[in-house]
Every structure is written in C-alpha cells, then in structure tokens.
Amino acid sequence: MSDLELKMQVHRTALYNCRLCPEMIGPVVTGSPVFSPILLIGQAPGDKEGGFGKPFAWTAGKTLFKWFERIGLDEEAFRARVYMAAVCRCFPGKNPTAGDRVPNKDEIENCSAWMKAEIDLLKPELILPVGKLAISQLMPVNKLNEVIGKLHRVSFHGHEAEAIPLPHPSGASTWHRMEPGLTLLESALSILQHHNAWRQVCRS
C-alpha cells in the first residue's frame, strides 16, 4: 500500500467514525476511495442513502447518472472512477414542512474539515458541485442561471482547480426541466464531456 493509499484509509476510518454534529443522523455516507482527477460534491445524503452505503443511491441519483451516461460514463463506471463527496456526509433529517433539512452553518463548517482532507489527498483537476449549497462552497451564487453552463476557475481549501457546477437532480426541483435550465444543463454537460479530466476518466 502506498503512503497516499494509507493516508486515504486513515482518513476514511476517521470519517466513518465521525459523530461531531448532534442533530445529524448517521451513518456517514461517502463514495468509493478512488484517486480520481474529478471530485463530485453533493449536498448531503437523503434518508435512503445510509441503507445503501453510497451517495445518490435513490431517485435523484437515477437522474444524475442518466446525465453522466449520456456523455460516456454509466453509474457503475462513474462510481468507480470519480470521488463522490458531499458538503455534509450525514442525513440532516426531514424538514417539518417538506423535503430534507438543509444543513446548518456549524454542520457545514464541521464537515468541511473532511473535504479539506480529501482535497489535500486528491488534488483534483476538476470539481463538480451539484446543487446550490455545494456550488456556494466554491463560488458566490445568487441564481443558478448565472453559474451553470460555464467552466469556472476556483480556489477551494487552498487548491486551484476548475469547476463545472450542475443543478441538483432532485425530483423536487424543476430548474433543470424548464428553460433556461434545460439549455444551461446541456451546456454544462457538453463542457464536461470535452474536459481533459473527464476524457481521462472515460479512458481509464
């Protein structure tokens, strides 16, 4: 085992044992420990992901993986070749009105230490933040229309990378199913398809 692989193993053992946020509901959910040039960042797992032990394992994932399959990587290949992280790695619980609770500032801050460790280990060339909360960790975002469909240069936890923001594929969101979201999503996927890091993981 290389030094880097050992560090990744130590990191993931500590991450899986994290119980820092009292309102968060375990287990910790994160993707495969793949040394990829691409890092995907979701928001937080839903109530089903813990049972499957992997992110985007339910309905939103079906939509997300259809997008990636159209440009060359099916779900199995994507999970094996892209590191899948999230702003928070535990289920935040249900919102009393509808949907899942959005992680609070302290929870985001707590969990960002795990992200920083992964950035240090992976030094990703390309970051794919999925949904407004994830995108807002990398760049200011007022409206999704202003950031999706473009390639961005970002500095994230002291690391310089490129980022292609994507909308959240949740069925509760209509943004990616209506104009201008439809067209902007297609632009984002086209930029991704031609990106050097994507071509690299498709070949691997």
The residues that touch ligand SF4, with contacts defined as CB under 6 A, are 18-21, 24, 28, 88-90, 107, 110-111
Nearer to ligand SF4, 15 or 202 (CB): 15
CB of 176 to ligand SF4, least distance (A): 26
For residues 131 and 42, is the Cβ–Cβ distance under 8 A? yes
CB of 53 to ligand SF4, least distance (A): 14
Tokens of 1: 């085992």
Tokens of 141: 């975002």
Nearer to ligand SF4, 46 or 149 (CB): 46
Nearer to ligand SF4, 74 or 109 (CB): 109
CB of 88 to ligand SF4, least distance (A): 4
Amino acid residing at 129: P
CB of 115 to ligand SF4, least distance (A): 9
Nearer to ligand SF4, 20 or 182 (CB): 20
